[in-house]
Amino acid sequence: MKNSSFLKTVKISLLSTLIISGISWNKKNDIKDANGIPLLTINAFTFSDLNQNGKLDKYEDTRLPISDRIQDLISKMTDDEKASMLIGIGMPGFDMVSAKFTTEGFQGKVPGAAGGTYELKRLGIPTVVVSDGPAGLRINPKRNNDSKTYYATAFPVGTSLASTWNTELINNVGKAIGNEVKEYGVDVLLGPGMNIHRNPLCGRNFEYYSEDPLLTGKISAAIINGIQSNGVGTSAKHFAANNQERNRMGINAHISERAMREIYLRGFEITVKEAQPWTIMSSYNSINGTFTSQRKDLLTTILRNEWGFKGMVMTDWFGGYRSFSVPFLKEAPTSDVTAQLSAGNDLIMPGMPSQKQAILDNMKSGKLSAAVVNTDLTRILELVMRSPSMSNYKYSDKPNLKANAEVTRQAAAEGTILLKNDKNTLPFTSKSTPLAIFGITSYDFISGGTGSGDVNEAYSISLIDGLTNSGFSIDKDLEGLYKPYVVDQKAKEMERREKNGGLLATPKRLLELELNKAIIDNKSNSSELALITIGRNAGEGDDRKVEDDFNLAADEVTLINNVSEAFHAKGKKVVVVLNIGGVIETASWRDKVDAILLPWQPGQEGGNSVADVFSGKTNPSGKLTMTFPVKYEDAAASKFWIGTPAENPTSVTYEEGIYVGYRYFNTFGVKPAYEFGYGLSYTNFDVSGLKLSSNSFSKSMTANVTVKNTGKIAGKEVVELYLSAPSKNTDKPSSELKAFVKTKLLQPGESQTVTLTLNPKDLASFVASKNAWIAEAGDYKVGIGTSSLNIKQKVNFTLAKELVVENTNPSFAADVKFKDLKH
């Protein structure tokens, strides 16, 4: 069959068929099916698949709607093939028997990718490659017997990106990430991470955006739209309420339906509606007694029926097992694949042979219905059909690393928050004396956290590199002391991590170098300014601690004390740089220093980004996305953290209900160190002229307000709209963020009028007893601020009659009795 003259004939006759039918050969990619999924290119199938009559099978005919073709494919699959397709291909580079990473054996199409879907050669179905995520593409930078490198760009961590409050910029970051995903041959990026910052100690907070669901949803939608504009997919994760790492697979989180809908799901809801991620990843934890990957209310009723999600759901890696070790135990039961697949969790990742067997057995016995199998396979195949792998995309392995480095540099600078700036300490431009730079992290910046979110970048710019690149000179004596110490300590730490789980080892803070007072004193003579970096690292698999982590450690306090005393004695200033992934304590030491910059973990260009802000090249405009409490115990969830028993908690109750983050601090009058939405600038802004489109609400409403740069330096400001709703029938936070806009770069004296929109759901609370989102009748207060506590303009409007905004289906039935915190 496969002789070349036959193929030529087929090609020609096929071409003419397509032309006759009005579909031109080159335009085939533009043709979309009813779901907006591009039809395949002709190259996507092999001619050897022509059936006996020399004709295309239905599934190969790109002129037919995708849905018809997929049904044809499924009808041609054996049960064994179906079962294979419902699970992933395992973890390339991971030995499923010894449960260890290996460079031997199966490495997959893109080494270092986290997994993929089943390749069904017989029917021309390729594997779809999925890879972490989220701060850039995580793949192996080097390959066996290959001299080329495959480095990806380490972008700022999620919290840093969200701190920009700039959806346009985040969309560009998404475009840059998507370019690397596509050009390295990957189909789906396993990100963004969208869990809510419930508590400062969650080890993965750095991957996530905020304590606020609106901000989370808007930033995720922006990045997903950017990534997916490349024709590759995303996996918004971890759906839902994966808010702690300790025993993340075995933990059962008791959460009220109201807190679920208003806090833990709302960001996903916004994202699904505004960006339609190709996939969603269910989380490890249980909610009210059932694994999320087995919850039909979550994965089907809410996600698809209520919100209109069109994509596919996959489990997190080994999701549905109570711990990582279980799948590798001999004779261990599999996850409950039937419950998972029936709930609408279409794909089981990374896929174990025992799971395939269980699927086959349950298909045979009828426990797993043909209808469920068909639905899940349809969604998996829809993903396959729209993937670059299916259209045989010829990826270059040469993404725009240079251009993307510029994108990450800008994003990290804009995500940097100026927490304190007494007497205009910053920007600092004097280059007359070398800068005295303290703190080991200054010499080895932390670009991002550990675990699956750790990108393999080609280089990382430290603070000293960045300042040097910007033309500052660095004190050489200090550099001479710090550098060898850092190299030595880091090597030991990496060795320790390697022995303790490698990628998933809990990172340890490196002890500060002890400097005697004489050296510091000496430097306060020769340098005009001191910089101290405080560093923190954390990641997947464990949470942070209060001592020596949320709170500064004794060696760090000593360093800040000694440097501040010496420099202040000479009338010189001290700047602290916080190279951290999560919130820390600042109240006890902030008065000792003159300025505090918070760049978070800013990606591979971090040192350059901080130097841009330090020198004034970029005027800081970042704002906090999570409250900085005065002390850890002030955070509402700290009382219910981390569940019981503390060492390996199996049960945690979210008794703080909807009072997460600023909703708690501001409603209960607990004064934070730095409030949600806070961040300073080198210039000043005036906010005035707040005007609503009407003083009574009907279908929607807009608020116009004018921002004027009244200072001397160009800058951007974030306009934050907080709404206070009547709370006669339902307990409500004092105010909630309902809209925000970032201005353009305003020159001194320049103004911009921005428009913020309120929709009915923004007025509503979820009332579980009525299964509905309801907006109470009464007076609503709009506050426009530049932080959640710095409200500059206020105006009221009324809602004449109670509004039932949306009816919902009863979900998340409680498994234990508890009451949400009320005001």
Catalytic positions, written as ranges:
316
93 in Cβ contact with 101 (< 8 Å): yes
Contact between 697 and ligand BGC per CB under 6 A = no
Shortest approach of ligand BGC to residue 302 CB, angstroms? 21
Shortest approach of ligand BGC to residue 234 CB, angstroms? 11
Contact between 237 and ligand BGC per CB under 6 A = yes
CA distance 525 to 535: 26
3-state secondary structure of 695: coil
Contact between 454 and ligand BGC per CB under 6 A = no
| Closest to ligand BGC by CB, 452 or 787 | 452
What stretch of H or E contains 159? helix 158-162
Shortest approach of ligand BGC to residue 241 CB, angstroms? 14
Contact between 673 and ligand BGC per CB under 6 A = no
CA distance 342 to 367: 10
Site string for ligand BGC, 515-544 (x = CB under 6 A): -------------------------x----
Shortest approach of ligand BGC to residue 217 CB, angstroms? 19
Residue type, 119: E
| Closest to ligand BGC by CB, 454 or 585 | 454
Cis peptide leading into residue 760 (ω within 30°): no
Helices (H), 229-352: 257-259, 266-275, 296, 337-343
697 in Cβ contact with 763 (< 8 Å): yes
Interface with ligand BGC (CB under 6 A), residue from 118, 317, 676, 740: 317
Helices (H), 324-400: 337-343, 353-365, 370-386
Which residues between 189 and 208 bind ligand BGC (CB under 6 A)? 190
Interface with ligand BGC (CB under 6 A), residue from 216, 452, 527, 788: 452
Q: 590: which DSSP letter?
A: G
Contact between 133 and ligand BGC per CB under 6 A = yes
CA distance 359 to 81: 11
What stretch of H or E contains 182? helix 167-183
* Sheet bearing 233-239, strands edge to edge: 115-116, 129-132, 188-190, 233-239, 279-282, 312-314
Total residues at the site for ligand BGC (CB under 6 A)?
Answer: 9
For residue 485, which phi and psi values (nearest 5 degrees)?
-65, -45
Shortest approach of ligand BGC to residue 133 CB, angstroms? 6
Interface with ligand BGC (CB under 6 A), residue from 119, 316, 594, 655: 316
**Going along 521-586, which residue ranges are E strands?**
529-535, 573-579
Tokens encoding 419:
């927490």
Shortest approach of ligand BGC to residue 114 CB, angstroms? 4
| Closest to ligand BGC by CB, 316 or 776 | 316
Interface with ligand BGC (CB under 6 A), residue from 60, 81, 119, 132: 132
Tokens encoding 263:
């806090």
Shortest approach of ligand BGC to residue 132 CB, angstroms? 5
Helices (H), 77-129: 79-85
Shortest approach of ligand BGC to residue 100 CB, angstroms? 15
Contact between 114 and ligand BGC per CB under 6 A = yes
Work out whether strand 573-579 and strand 529-535 pair parallel, antiparallel, or are unpaired.
parallel
CA distance 646 to 564: 38
Contact between 293 and ligand BGC per CB under 6 A = no
CA distance 522 to 567: 10
| Closest to ligand BGC by CB, 237 or 792 | 237
| Closest to ligand BGC by CB, 504 or 795 | 504
For residue 352, which phi and psi values (nearest 5 degrees)?
-115, 145
By the criterion CB under 6 A, which residues form the site for ligand BGC? Answer: 114, 132-133, 190, 237, 316-317, 452, 540
